[in-house]
Copies of this chain bind each other. A is one copy, B any other.
């Protein structure tokens, strides 16, 4: 097997370029790192462009086992240890990473779903929150997440890692114009739902109609123009003194009630 040792190798240059959001979205490619998440990608039939093994990992027993298990799933390349380390995002790299295709879907697909419940993230900024929301959406079988304008990239390495594989399973949609996308969905009969302090207590809310639930930015909340577009509102009662919940917690509790209403 060929061992790549040069920084100038086009594949190495591509991997390096994918640390930038702009390059990820131009090529619709992102990096995943570690055995477990690569296995998840394969199980979930994500298209893998290539898998890089560090020299010492592919020579180890664990590396050999993994290699034999996945060798027919993608193009495999051996990379000199020092070069691999320079590509890795972790302090103690396991010795394997892969480049795979985005699984962003076409917004038009939403219309064909039967009574879907979709979450719309309005400028969600924190990578941890993005990862947590994707993970909870997977656990509670939410029909999809639309990434509104100004969101942190779900394909950034920190987010991908924190989704624990859910990034491959939750239907993700992107949109260029949050207001237009929401107006369009509203025209098509979706309820636009927000959480406010004056809304209906969430446990009384009837989740049966198709809906888009808006989750706002961590600091600013929901954009006022989007808020204005909402035709339903719920509140999560907070008898204590905190002014608000963390955005990922609020989203998760709404997803949980939605899940309950379906079982």
Contacts and interface: CB of A to CB of B under 8 A. Distances in A.
Contact of A138 (B135, B162, B242, B259): B242
A141 interface: yes
Contact of A263 (B139, B141, B165, B239): B239
A84 to B, nearest CB: 24
B259 A239 contact: yes
Nearest to A140: B240
B136 A246 contact: yes
Interface residues of A, number: 37
Interface stretch (A27-35, A207-215, A249-257): A249-257
Nearest to A257: B256
Interface in A210-263: 236-246, 248-249, 252-253, 256, 259-260, 262-263
Contacts of A236: 256
Contacts of A238: 139-140, 259
A132 interface: yes
A5 to B, nearest CB: 34
A139 B242 contact: yes
Nearest to A243: B164
Interface string A158-189: 00001011100100000000000000000000
Contacts of A116: none
A139 B131 CA distance: 23
A142 B240 CA distance: 8
Contact of A164 (B139, B142, B242): B242
A67 interface: no
A139 B253 contact: no
A263 B256 CA distance: 19
Contacts of A246: 131-132, 135-136, 162, 248, 252
Nearest to A136: B249
A169 B248 contact: no
A93 interface: no
25 contacts: A132-B249, A135-B246, A135-B249, A138-B240, A139-B241, A139-B242, A140-B238, A140-B239, A140-B240, A142-B240, A164-B242, A164-B243, A164-B244, A166-B242, A169-B241, A237-B259, A237-B263, A238-B259, A239-B259, A246-B248, A246-B252, A249-B252, A252-B253, A253-B256, A256-B256
Interface of A: 128, 131-132, 135-142, 162, 164-166, 169, 203, 236-246, 248-249, 252-253, 256, 259-260, 262-263
